[in-house]
C-alpha cells in the first residue's frame, strides 16, 4: 500500500469526544432499557430544543421566493453586515464599525477556525477548562502551540499566571459565557485580560456564542466594545435564535487588515454563506421586538431548568458545584467521590462510567483539557424538567 504523505495537521484533527459519547450512549440505551425499563437521561449535548422563531423562517421563505439563490458576495451580503452593525450597537454597546470590519461565516465555528488559521503554527493561550472543539479541531488543524492557564476556585483568573503564559503568544482565546463552566466573565475581568494581551502584543480571539443565554438579570460584556484594535470577536446565531442547523455566524474586528485576509479564507473554504440565509439572519438581528420575545422565552425556560439542576446538585454533600450565570452547562467537581488509589485514564473516566451505568449521559472533564479530570459536564439545553429530576436522582445514587 502506498505511503501517502497527508497533512500532519489534518491527521491530528479528532472528532469531538461528545460525538463518540453520544454513539456510546446509543449502543448502551437498549440494554439499559431492557434492564431497568427506563430511558437514558441525556446531559451530554449542547443542542437547543426550541424551534427557530417563525419570523426568521418566514424571512428565509421570502428570500427564496425573491430568487435570492445565486452566489453570495464574498465576505457577506451588505444586508447581513448592516444588521450586524445594528445589533453590535444595541446589544453589545460596540460602535465605530462598518461593513469592512465584518466577515460572515458558516456558523461561529468557521469564524473561530479562520481566526486560529491567522496564527498557524504560532503560540496561543486559553483558559482551562476549554471548549473541546478548540482542543480537538482548531488547535491541531492550525498547528497551534496551545497553552492552557487553569481557572482557580469558582473559576477565577490567576492574572500572574496568565501574564507569564502570554509571553511570546500570538493570541489569547476567551469564551464568555464559558463552555463548560457557565462562567460569565465580568467587565473588569475581560478588560484586564485585554490589557494583558495589549502588554504582550497579542490578539484576543473572543468566542461569544452564548452571549444571549444569561440568567439572574446578568449582562454580557463584549470585548468588541473596547478600543483595542487587535480583538477578533466571533458570534453565532445558533444559540441566540435556536438556529444550530442554519450554520450562520460572523466575526468582527477593528483591525481592517484582518477581514481582508479572512474574506479570502472564507472564499477559499466555502465561497461564502448561502445568500437567502443571510437575509433571514438580517431579519433575526434587526427585528428587536420579535427577537426579544424569543430570547426571553428561551432564557426563562433555561433558568427554570438551571435552578432545579443547581438545587439538586448543591444538595449532594461533598460535591463542588458553581451556579452558572450563562450558557446551559454545569461543571461540578466529583473528586470527593473518586477513590484516591485510582489514577490516570481510569480516574478520568471513573465518574463518567458510573453515570453511564445509571443511565446518565455526561461529558468527562478531561475532554476540556488538563487540570479538571475529576469534573463532569452536564448540559440542560435539551432536557425537560422531569428528566432533570430523574437524572438528579441517578447522580445522587452514585454519590451515596
Q: 95 or 272: whose pLDDT is higher?
A: 95
Topology adopted by domain 8-50+292-398: 3.90.1150
Question: 83 CB contacts (<8 Å, ≥6 apart)?
Answer: 281, 282, 283, 284, 285, 286
pTM of the shown model: 0.95
**pLDDT tens for residues 118-134?**
999 999 999 999 999 99
C-alpha pair distances (Å), 291 with each of 59, 247, 284, 294, 314: 13, 18, 6, 5, 33
Same CATH topology for 8-50+292-398 and 69-287? no
Average pLDDT over residues 140-157: 95
Note the CATH number of domain 69-287.
3.40.640.10
Contact by Cβ (8 Å): 206, 172: no
Contact by Cβ (8 Å): 44, 24: no
Q: Can you give the residue ranges of every domain in the chain?
A: 8-50+292-398, 69-287
Please state whether the peptide bond connecting residue 148 to the residue before it is cis, i.e. omega within 30 degrees of 0: no
Q: How confident is the model at residue 142 (pLDDT cuts 50, 70, 90)?
A: very high
Average pLDDT over residues 285-298: 96
- What does R_g of the chain's alpha carbons equal in angstroms? 21
* pLDDT exceeds 90 at position 260: no
Mean pLDDT computed over every residue of the chain: 95
Q: How confident is the model at residue 271 (pLDDT cuts 50, 70, 90)?
A: confident
C-alpha pair distances (Å), 61 with each of 143, 293, 295, 350: 41, 21, 22, 49
Burial of 390 (0-12, 13-18, 19+ CB in 10 A): middle
**pLDDT tens for residues 319-369?**
999 999 999 999 999 999 999 999 999 999 999 999 999 999 999 999 999
Amino acid at each position: 500500500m502506498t505511503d501517502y504523505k497527508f497533512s500532519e495537521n489534518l491527521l491530528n484533527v479528532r472528532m469531538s469526544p461528545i460525538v463518540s459519547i453520544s454513539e456510546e450512549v446509543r449502543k448502551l440505551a437498549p440494554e439499559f432499557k431492557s434492564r431497568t425499563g427506563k430511558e437514558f437521561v441525556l446531559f451530554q449535548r449542547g443542542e437547543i430544543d426550541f424551534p427557530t422563531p417563525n419570523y426568521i423562517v418566514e424571512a428565509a421563505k421570502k428570500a427564496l421566493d425573491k430568487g435570492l439563490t445565486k452566489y453570495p458576495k464574498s465576505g457577506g451580503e451588505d444586508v447581513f453586515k448592516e444588521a450586524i452593525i445594528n445589533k453590535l450597537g444595541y446589544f453589545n454597546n460596540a460602535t465605530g464599525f462598518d461593513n469592512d470590519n465584518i466577515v460572515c461565516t458558516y456558523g461561529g465555528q468557521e469564524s473561530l477556525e479562520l481566526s486560529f488559521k491567522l496564527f498557524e503554527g504560532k503560540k496561543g493561550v486559553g483558559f482551562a477548562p476549554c471548549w473541546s472543539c478548540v482542543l480537538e479541531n482548531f488547535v491541531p488543524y492550525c498547528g497551534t502551540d496551545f497553552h492552557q492557564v487553569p481557572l482557580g476556585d469558582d473559576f477565577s483568573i490567576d492574572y500572574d499566571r496568565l501574564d507569564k503564559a502570554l509571553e511570546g503568544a500570538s493570541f489569547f482565546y476567551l469564551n464568555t459565557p464559558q463552555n463548560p463552566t457557565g462562567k460569565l466573565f465580568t467587565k473588569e475581568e475581560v478588560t484586564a485580560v485585554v490589557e494583558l494581551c495589549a502588554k504582550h502584543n497579542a490578539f484576543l480571539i473572543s468566542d461569544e456564542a452564548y452571549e444571549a443565554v444569561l440568567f439572574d438579570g446578568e449582562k454580557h460584556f463584549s470585548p468588541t466594545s473596547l478600543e483595542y484594535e487587535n480583538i477578533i470577536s466571533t458570534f453565532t446565531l445558533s444559540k441566540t435564535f435556536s438556529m444550530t442547523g442554519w450554520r450562520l455566524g460572523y466575526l468582527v474586528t477593528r483591525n481592517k487588515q484582518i477581514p481582508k485576509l479572512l474574506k479570502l479564507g472564507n472564499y477559499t473554504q466555502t465561497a461564502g454563506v448561502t445568500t437567502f440565509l443571510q437575509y433571514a439572519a438580517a431579519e433575526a438581528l434587526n427585528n428587536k421586538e420579535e427577537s426579544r420575545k424569543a430570547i426571553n422565552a428561551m432564557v426563562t425556560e433555561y433558568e427554570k431548568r438551571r435552578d432545579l439542576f443547581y438545587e439538586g446538585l448543591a444538595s449532594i454533600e461533598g460535591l463542588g458545584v458553581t451556579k452558572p450565570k450563562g450558557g446551559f452547562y454545569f461543571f461540578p467537581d466529583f473528586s470527593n467521590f473518586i477513590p484516591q488509589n485510582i489514577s490516570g485514564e481510569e480516574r478520568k473516566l471513573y465518574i463518567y462510567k458510573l453515570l453511564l451505568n445509571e443511565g446518565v449521559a455526561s461529558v468527562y472533564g478531561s475532554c476540556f483539557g488538563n487540570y479538571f479530570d475529576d469534573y463532569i459536564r452536564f448540559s440542560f439545553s435539551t432536557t425537560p424538567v422531569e428528566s432533570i429530576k430523574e437524572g438528579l436522582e441517578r447522580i445522587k445514587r452514585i454519590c451515596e
